Every structure is written in structure tokens, then in C-alpha cells.
Amino acid sequence: MSITLVHLIPKDPHFSPAPAASEAAQARLQQLVPEALGGYDVWDIPGTAFIDPGENWCGVRCPVCGSDIEDWWGDVMDMAVLPDGYFDALAVTMPCCSAQTDLNALDYVRAAGFAR
């Protein structure tokens, strides 16, 4: 049996919708996919977390020059994560082209990002 999760990742990684907006989104999802087995759930994560594609992970590239940065990315994620497992500051300088960007703007090959 497989499971499919739908993650909605906002542009602002620290954004947390009001409860009424979460409930409205969940109701709309139920209209769009009424046959979902196991039901629906909305998580309000207490901090900004990295939402990864799980077993579909295919790497990460620089959003400016396209270099493969997966090895660097792992080390930077380890340094950026807070003791509680969440993230606050996401700004980074790319090792390949010195571009200033942030961890949420990287080119994740499969959909990934930061969200609450």
C-alpha cells in the first residue's frame, strides 16, 4: 500500500494561515479529491520545517548557475537547523557562483521547500 501526501508550500516559508483558511483549504481539497482513503489532515507545524519529497528526492541545484550542490546543501542544512529541528534564518551564499539567496529558493529537483 502506498500513501500520497499533498504538501502546500507557501512562498513565505514562515507563513502560517489562519485556522479558518486552513479549514477552507481542507474543505476544498475534499471537494477536489473526495475518494481519498484515510481522510484528510492539516498540520500546523510549530516552526518552519523543511518539507522534502521523501523517497522521490532527486537532489538540489543552484538556482543561479544550475550547479549540483547536494553535498554542500547537506552541510548547510545541518548548520541552519535550530536545536528544535526547525529553521529560522535561511540566507545562504552559494558555493558555486557566490550568489546570495536562501535555502527556500534553491532549485530542488523534486518539489521541496520550507513551510509551517
Question: Where does this chain bind Zn ion (CB under 5 A)?
Answer: 62, 64-65, 67, 94, 96-97
Nearer Cβ to Zn ion (17/63): 63
Nearest distance, CB of residue 62 and Zn ion, angstroms: 3
Nearest distance, CB of residue 105 and Zn ion, angstroms: 12
| Percentages of the chain per state (helix, strand, coil), in multiples of 5 | 25, 15, 55
For residue 89, give the nearest of 99, 75, 103, 78 by alpha carbon.
Answer: 103
Q: How many CB atoms lie within 10 A of CB 51?
A: 19
Nearest distance, CB of residue 72 and Zn ion, angstroms: 10
Nearer Cβ to Zn ion (80/99): 99
